[in-house]
Amino acid sequence: MSASLQTRIPTSPLTVGSVASLNQLACLQPSELAKQCDLLEIRLETMLGHQDLLQVELERFRDIPLLITARCAAEGGEADLTPDERASLLSAAAPFASWADIELASYGDMQDIAKDLRNQGIGLVLSYHNFEKTPYLSELQRIVDFGEDADIVKIAVRHHEVEDLTIGTQILQKNRRPMAFMGMGALAPVSRLLYAQHGSLLNYGYLGDEPTAPGQWPAELLKNGIAASEKIGA
């Protein structure tokens, strides 16, 4: 890891504001984003067929820390793209990005683009998404260990019961490496604040009118909630 990248890895919880469409991105004002989120996530697979317009929008947000991803369909992506197609989207947006998210399941097929992104000084988030359940602690630990090449390992799982929250806090407490952990579903809202308090570095909310994952908070509300919880814990 380069020294410049090391200095950019957050040491306290950040709020990531995610947008679900190019129209929603076009409605955002860069001057207003600071109060809503710390990072802006661009879901590139939701903006296919509008590359020229997307480049204009990315230029508009050049001074905002951007996290780019082209999600695979198996983990919630909006389009069924090949690894090469997703790599092409990431490569085109790379000049504007601070971070890029690639699924752990796709990492073997996308190591070339991952290496290229990191050579450009872009931080690598390796992610795992389970929309059905919260795996056992031992399975989650194997996922964390598998993500050893990441600058930040990100795990998003569906919570069904309070015991799932215990598993989430345990995995965060067990690992000293930079991580992001979040719940989806009915327990998602409480999980996002809880995990930020236990060291989750990237905490996702939505911008605009449409969540990009089940149970997301509006980004500004999540950012304010994290700030309030940090004051209480200070």
Domains and CATH numbers, the chain: 13-233 (3.20.20.70)
pLDDT at 89: 95
Pick out the chain residues at pLDDT < 50: 1-7
pLDDT at 233: 59
pLDDT at 1: 43
pLDDT at 214: 75
- Coil, strand or helix: which one is 48? coil
Tokens found for residue 185:
């579903």
How deeply is 172 buried, as exposed, middle or buried, from its count of CB atoms within 10 A (0-12, 13-18, 19+)?
Answer: buried
pLDDT at 211: 78
